[in-house]
Chain A
Amino acid sequence: MEHLELFFKSIFIDNMVFATFLGMCSYLAVSKKVTTAVGLGAAVIFVLAVTVPLNWLLDQYLLQEGALAWLDPKYGVDGSETIDLSFLSFIMFIATIATMVQLVEIVVEKFSPSLYNSLGIFLPLIAVNCAILGGSLFMQSREIPSLALALTYGVGSGIGWFLAILAIAAIREKIRYSSVPPALRGLGITFIITGLMAIGFMSFGGMLTGGDEEKKKKTTQVVASSKLEKDTQVKKIDITLKSDSEEVAENIKEIEK
């Protein structure tokens, strides 16, 4: 349950692009075509799923205040020589990410050339994608409690980013057929569409309201209400999907005219 909640939360409510503007640079630069957008999105999911848990381990066993207690109790929080290395987290996280991206690139090239051909060009881009570092930094500041949850968080935020870039790429492919004011063409309209999409995504905010408080109480009520919430989630997604496909159908009709 905890996993499911975090998973949906990181995809929809705390969506990387729409709620925190992470990875905007590549989001804007690589969203002209759906196929390339899918490639980059998949690479982001992959790298986030690897680096977030890895940085979680680093944070827990090396960087946090008193994290070195496993070496000697005296370095622990209550020990005589407490060590707090958290000021090093930026440099450690970015080094891990840069190395992991290189490593992933080499491994993928070796074992799956076809995957490498589709993801390959995007991997070096990813080391400097704010979404990857942002994922690790948010994981740290939100104090995610376990390794498995960190993995869920990484995969979830990756999927959220993937959804966002896929959606904008599809919209940008279609918008070529409409007459946008010349000065807004390209970048300007993309910004405004992203803004509107972000407003749309804000409606997901109500999906898990009060979830945190309920979890602490751990009463039977929680189960019932969370079930209810889940139902409404599914319904909401259904509705958006339906309206999306209707829109697409309309667009196609217009183009045919």
Chain B
Amino acid sequence: MGLLSKKDAKLITDPLTDNNPITIQVLGICSALAITAELKASIVMSVSVLFVLGLGNVVISLMRNIIPSKIRIIVQLIVVATLVIIVDLVLKAFAYELSKTLSVFVGLIITNCIIMGRFEAFALGNGPWKSFLDGVGNSLGYAVILIIVGFFRELLGSGTLLGIKVLGDPIEKTGLYAFGYENNGFMLLSPMALIVVGLIIWVQRSRNQALIEEN
């Protein structure tokens, strides 16, 4: 491991499990839940956040000594907004249909608390390389939850994964549907995203008792 020392590797692996941005730090839930009805949308959203957070952390970390602390929030917002505009334009150019599905939620990456939270908590006090790793780690932690939620909602809600009918055809009654299986349309509605995340938290905290809250 020449490239990553043990400490650096921890920056990436920690947010995946015990310090997950969504389930433990409670950041970035805003834009995470609304778009998880399809697996594809969750993957695209995760990649966008990875890009914005990875790069944004580096930029902020490079500028950390010249930003006056009084106006740092505005500076941070401008950096994020610029990166998000790039993501938005790229999505519009190469995946127009998807950018329609994500609608305003691409723009809402700007106010995604993960990004501001990591800027404040990490990039303002650490060097560029470490900040980059921290950004990648945290957006991967975000991606894991998004993909798990997207996987279950799409599988149970419409019987497909990435648009491929994995459970058979509901109209021609093939595969599972031949035995009378029905899609649970309820999974596609927004409240279910919250409940699925709640269940993920439940599973995670039962496995790691140290994370349990007092009240």
Contact = CB atoms under 8 A, between A and B. Distances in A.
Interface of A: 18-25, 28-29, 87-91, 94-95, 98-99, 124, 127-130, 132-134, 137-138, 141, 176, 181-192, 194-196, 198-199, 202
Nearest to A189: B198
B17 interface: no
A191 B197 contact: yes
B205 A90 contact: no
Interface in B102-136: 103-104, 107-108, 110-113, 116
Contacts of B104: 134, 137-138, 141
B46 interface: no
Interface string B182-215: 0000000111111101110110011001001111
Given A90-B81, A137-B104, 18 more contacts: A21-B194, A23-B30, A25-B28, A25-B29, A25-B30, A91-B85, A128-B111, A128-B116, A138-B104, A184-B198, A184-B201, A187-B213, A188-B198, A191-B197, A191-B198, A194-B194, A195-B195, A199-B191
Interface of B: 23, 26-34, 73-74, 77-78, 81-82, 84-85, 88-89, 103-104, 107-108, 110-113, 116, 189-195, 197-199, 201-202, 205-206, 209, 212-215
Nearest to A139: B104
B74 A188 contact: no
Nearest to A197: B191
A242 B113 CA distance: 37
Contacts of A99: 74
Contact of A90 (B26, B85, B190): B85
7 contacts: A21-B31, A25-B28, A94-B110, A95-B77, A127-B77, A133-B108, A134-B104
10 closest pairs, A vs B, by CB?
A186-B213, A191-B198, A195-B194, A198-B191, A130-B30, A183-B205, A195-B195, A192-B198, A137-B104, A25-B113
A195 B192 contact: yes
A188 B201 contact: yes
Contacts of A184: 198, 201-202, 205
A186 B74 CA distance: 32
B150 to A, nearest CB: 14
B213 A185 contact: yes
Contact of A22 (B108, B191, B212, B213): B108
B213 A25 contact: no
A134 B31 CA distance: 10
A130 B111 contact: yes
B195 A90 contact: no
B30 A128 contact: no
Contacts of A196: 191, 195
A137 B107 contact: yes
A22 B108 CA distance: 9
A59 B113 CA distance: 25
A20 B81 contact: no
B29 A198 contact: no
Contacts of A127: 73, 77
Contacts of B23: 187
Contacts of B107: 89-90, 133, 137
Contact of A95 (B78, B88, B112): B78
Nearest to B104: A137
B146 to A, nearest CB: 13
Contacts of A130: 30-31, 108, 111-113
A192 B30 contact: no
A94 B77 contact: yes
Name, among B27, B32, B33, B107, the residue most crowded by chain A CB atoms within 10 Å (CB to CB).
Answer: B107
